[in-house]
Amino acid sequence: MKGGGRHARRRRLSAGARTAGLLVAAGLVAAGAGAAGLALTRHADVPQAAALQVLPAPTGPIEAAPTEGAASVAEPVSLVIPSIGVSASLVHLGLTSSGALQVPPTTAVAGWYTGSPRPGSIGSAVIAGHIDSVTGPGVFFRLSQLQRGARVYVRRADGTLAVFEVTEVQMFPKDAFPTTAVYGAVPDPELRLITCGGTFDYSTRSYLSNTVVFAKEVS
Amino acid sequence: MRFTKFARRIILLAALPLLLLAIPAASVVTASAATGTGWIRLAHLSPNTPAVDVYLYSFGDSSAQIVLHHVAYGTVSPYEQVPAGDYTVAMRAAGAVATSAAVISASVDVAPGHAYTVAGLGPESGLRLQVLDDQLSTPSGQAVVRIIQASLKQSVVSVKWGSDTLQSSLKFGAVSSYQTVTAGTATLTVSGGGDNATASVPLAAGTVHTLVVLDGTNGLQIDNLLDAAGSGVDPAGGAGTGFGGMAPHGPSSPLPWLAAVGAGLLLAVGGGLRLRSRRAPAAAAGRHQRVPAARS
């Protein structure tokens, strides 16, 4: 009796329920594929940059800060950070119409904010550079990898060098940018290097954080 | 009854992609605490006191951290960055042994991020070591300035910057508070008694200055000290220094995938229901025997 019932069920299965079964199977496959697609696209595709090339320290007359006045230090023209392979010329940066810091016109150069003290004179000099372009790494791509104690060299228009030592490397959300710590007055020659970092927001096409390197002049 | 289990599975399946979505990107590194250092500088501004050796001791440490030899009247040292904490400043006659009794000493509590000037002020007979709190901020686009009156020859002076009177009668040994001035270059005029001294003094936006009035070889002398400097105008907010080319190519939009998951689940549920409604009448008789009513 039981065996007969099963045969009957199998026959019925093969008829109408097969479509239902197919529906279930197809649905599960589709859902699985969707979940897999979702999972795969959640995984970040991290672009790779060329290997780091450490540079030799630049040579030239090193001049420490004068104790009085700010005008006697020449303007900065280039920047070398040997340990992260940075060697770039410096452009002048001002403010945008909305009062934000201008950024360099290309990702191959860095810029000195002309509203800040000249590097090597008393005060907090500010240099900003891009972490990347739309296609590849920018001049400050490896800024966040700088170690405390690393040397930063700024060459000035008169050929002299100001030499700095990294004291801090920190990341801040842009909506909580430490304006006073970066742009505020300090009583000794210091340097701030700024680039982007953290998560890139594709909807606004901008990074959500800034990496800031704090450095002080080596006397 | 059986259907609830089926539904539970489907809910689990549906929740899976949501769980995947919930895995956040690596969180942003938080800023570490401040470096915990401050600044200190030492000054000899007592006109008739001979040169001194100035010692800076970390409190409780008998060996000096900094020794400045033969510091003469009018000398102000550069700032030294020191760990926050208590310090003692001692002055001895130039060349006196380090273990000899100090002529004068003072204690300084250095707070992190703050700067201090420890200055010998007044006449030799009434020499005092004063700890001055140095300002490290300026109103946007402006400069701040204070005056130390260290001239004994003219015991009262007035100070004008351009046409602005900064001080009308500052007494010998006195230190004014900081005043905000419009940034720019102007003529500084110090006058006292019949004496007059002028100098073209630039006070840039974002800078903090101390102007020291000294007895020069001929009359009054002005020393313009740059205490601190920052940006004349602070840029608003962070810097837009990246275009995303090296950013992890994050999820474009999860919506198509979510739609696929949703549609698939709907399909599966629909199929499942249909399967059940077809199986139910046929299996009803047998199931009662095979599976006692164990589930509720």
pLDDT tens digits for B103-136? Answer: 999 999 999 999 999 999 999 999 999 999 999 9
Q: Given pLDDT bands bounded at 50, 70 and 90, which one contains residue B89?
A: very high
CA distance B207 to chain A (A): 7
CA distance A34 to chain B (A): 5
Q: Given pLDDT bands bounded at 50, 70 and 90, which one contains residue A47?
A: confident
A141-156 average pLDDT score: 96
What is the residue-averaged pLDDT of chain B?
84
Sign of CA dihedral B62, A219, A167, A124: positive
**Taking a contact as any Cβ pair under 8 Å apart, which residues of chain B between 150 and 169 contact chain A?**
none
Sequence-ordered list of residues with C-beta below 8 angstroms from that of A193, at least 6 positions apart, any chain? A110, A127, A128, A129, A140, A143, A146, A152, A212, A213, A215
Task: Give CA–CA dist A163/A191, Å, rounded.
Answer: 10
DSSP string, A106-136: STT-EEEETTSPPBTBSEEEEEEE-SB-SSS
Strand partners, B86: B109
For residue range A63-118, list pLDDT tens digits in order.
776 655 545 789 999 999 999 999 999 999 999 999 999 999 999 999 999 999 99
Helix axes B2-22, A18-42, angle to 10 degrees: 20
Model ipTM over 0.90: no
Residues of A in contact with B78 (CB under 8 A): 65, 67, 188
Q: Is B137 on the interface with A (CB under 8 A)?
A: yes
Greater confidence (B268 vs A150) lies with A150
Provide φ and ψ at B5, rounded to 5°: -65, -45
Q: Given an 8 Å threshold on Cβ–Cβ distance, is B245 in contact with A20? A: no
> Of A5, A27, A133, which has the smallest distance from its Cβ to B267's Cβ?
A27
Lowest mean pLDDT among A22-31, A45-54, B117-126, B175-184: A45-54
For chain A, the straight-line distance linking the first and the last C-alpha, in angstroms and rounded, comes to: 101
Nearest to A183 by CA among A210, A206, A204: A210
Lowest mean pLDDT among A23-27, A46-50, B129-133, B279-283: B279-283
Chain A residue with CA closest to B256: the answer is A34
Sequence-ordered list of residues with C-beta below 8 angstroms from that of A176, at least 6 positions apart, any chain? none
Contact yes or no for A216/A190 (Cβ under 8 A): yes
Q: Given an 8 Å threshold on Cβ–Cβ distance, is B239 in contact with A194? A: yes
B142-168 average pLDDT score: 94
Our CA angle for B56, B58, B60, nearest 5°, is 120
Q: Given an 8 Å threshold on Cβ–Cβ distance, is A168 in contact with B35? A: yes
**Beta-strand pair A161-173/A151-156:** antiparallel
Greater confidence (A154 vs B28) lies with A154
Q: Given pLDDT bands bounded at 50, 70 and 90, which one contains residue B30?
A: very low
By the 10 Å C-beta count (0-12 exposed, 13-18 middle, 19+ buried), A127 is classed as buried
Per-residue confidence (pLDDT) for residue B195, from 0 to 100: 86
For residue range B215-235, list pLDDT tens digits in order.
998 889 999 999 999 999 999
Residues of B in contact with A41 (CB under 8 A): 251-252, 254, 257
Greater confidence (A87 vs A10) lies with A87
The number of CA neighbours under 13 Å toward the Cβ of B285 is 6
Q: Is B269 on the interface with A (CB under 8 A)?
A: yes
Q: Tokens 């000493």 — which residue?
A: B105
Sign of CA dihedral B129, B131, B136, B137: negative
CA distance A52 to chain B (A): 15
Residues of A in contact with B278 (CB under 8 A): 12, 16-17, 20
Q: Is B245 on the interface with A (CB under 8 A)?
A: yes
What is the residue-averaged pLDDT of chain A?
88
Residues of B in contact with A6 (CB under 8 A): none
Enter the pTM of the model. 0.75
Nearest to A84 by CA among A167, A151, A164: A151
Q: Given pLDDT bands bounded at 50, 70 and 90, which one contains residue B248?
A: confident
